[in-house]
Chains A and B, each alone.
Chain A
Amino acid sequence: MTPLLEARGVTKIFGGGLFERASVLALENFSLPIEAERPLITAVVGESGSGKTTLARLLLGLTAPTGGHVLYQGRDLRSMSRADWRAFRRDVQVIFQDPYEVYNPFYRVDHVLTTPVAKFHLAPSRAGERALIEDVLRAVGLRPEETLGRFPHQLSGGQRQRVMVARALLLKPRLILADEPVSMVDASLRATILGSLRSINAERGISIVYITHDLATAYQISDRIIVLYRGAVAEAGDVELVVKQPRHPYTQLLLSSIPRASAERTWLTDRIGASAGRPDGESAGCRFAARCPSAMSRCREVRPPLFQTDRHRVVACYLHADAPAQPIEAP
């Protein structure tokens, strides 16, 4: 089957023009198929500068790749017709980080819900519109009578973000891309929003790409996970494997850096082998080599390919070079 949306060998380089100081490799040779037949929650995890926001923009067609292709139902986003784009904008919905900035403060929250209904002719009548809106609000755990008719400032950040999830659902999308949807929401409300993403996936069969810096929430809601480091995949695969038995030194560093909310105290006493210093500039080798406690000479010379260490996991690290390497897509 043709994937609903696919990144195939995508590279994005910023700058490097005649008057630019230096070019920045934001994402390198990234591939990810999202199949609508098997709706999964895919987490993309990375720190600042990992390329995760660039990836979101590429998948939405907001920026064009420097190399490789982003394909919607097999068609390159760069050469799609208006009709294809119209279908794309129904099938692929997005939820952004900031639930405060997406609202016009002068309109009631109803406005963000009625606009897509009108634009995409989703309901034949006023009553139909109301029923549709109430259905999606309930799907995200909001009571329509307590939500509709209010102004954005009368709702909490968590409620506003759930209205955005409801808005995404209106169009019956096949994929929702959520870029840090809970990073500005209080801890006690995060679980509720993430729980509604889970149930949307399970009950409505919608694929979700969850982009975050937070490995703990990624573990909680996703089926598979991609760990990005400075524009390249460090490790990817089944979330249980990656989180419980991380193989890449960077994944191991990330997991051991997270302070755990438990009575066991080892965080400040544990020494981490990897250094947290500023990484070097561009190099031909592994991008993590400068900080890696196990770096070997070839790590600094040639980029490691993705080695398939388990049936459901790949690791970009020469420590696992005995596993078969995944073929690299021709650029």
Chain B
Amino acid sequence: MSIRHLRAVFRKEVLHIFRDRSTFILVLLTPISLLFIMAYALTVDIQQVPVAVLDRDESRLSRRFVHQLTVGEELDLHARVDSLGEIDALLRRGRIKAGLIIRPPFERQLITADGAPLQILIDGTEPESGAFAMDQIARRADAFVGQVLAQEAGLGMTLDGLSSPIQYHVTALYNPALKPRVDMVPGLISLVLGFPALSVALTLAHEREHGTLEQVMVTPVSRAELLIGKMLPYLAVGMVNVVVIPLIALITFDIPFNGSFSLFFLLSIAFLFAMLSMGTLVGVFMRTQPAALALSFLVIFFPGFFMTGIFFPLASMPAEVRLEAMFLPGTHYAVIARSVFLRAAGLAQLWPQSLALLGLGTLFVSVAAFSFRKKLG
């Protein structure tokens, strides 16, 4: 391995990143903007969430309560229905995000502070809206109860120190776990940090297309020098993102960061190495940029999205998918990111994932170096 060759390739690639605008945008700006777009798409302020009400109590207080729900912009009373079947149908068709069922004796139990039952059905396929609707209903119910207790019972009591006189029975349909956003952002970080991998795949294909690779192939540069020299600049750029992106996540999305940042930084580098090796492998086999782009999405991003447990729990997948997921750096990094962010996990817990990242990176880059030949055609 000649340091001079390595440095020449490295320097050339750095100049390329900074002088070629589209590469610069792809490498440095896309991950940041993507994090914003995706995180916001998942957490936008929800308004006018459609709900339906089935009022079986049909009392004065239950009617006042239903009226209270529709004050403000947050909830939209889509329908008053007469049967459970109608709520079910509306939920299935996605017309409402939540259904509220008031059963008798709501009024009487409310007055006697006996635990008036409220049943809420939530569309778990959209946990954000469902959870939001539930939260709104509960909040209004609490406020309502406060009013009622004060007025009706004349007790002048507040709810402080008392358990709420309403018993909530919440059932989230389709997605009982209701994974919150706090869990999602570290996963998103692992997704956007993978972007330099795409750049590496594209830059190799770009050089093939433009014939520059042909000119480099006739020089005595070795395969490893060429591939590593090309990977290193993207690793450096990726490290910038490793610092910037968690900071943005912490500041903008109010995510807790409980673990060690230096550990997170080190393991992120291991993840970048694994991803860049994967990108290099793609770039070695593809002749054109569109092909490299397509294959990157096919083997890096789609599986990264669906099979790494970021959005869909791995435990729910078939064994073959789980096995395949073990070959995706994102699977291991998602665990690392979540654990460090939220659970303050250390190397004592995360060593299997860390080793997996290093192993995968070494595997991919070795296969790439052996498959890459200084030949055309």
Determine if chain A interacts with chain B: no
Q: State the A residues within 8 Å of B (CB).
A: none
Q: State the B residues within 8 Å of A (CB).
A: none
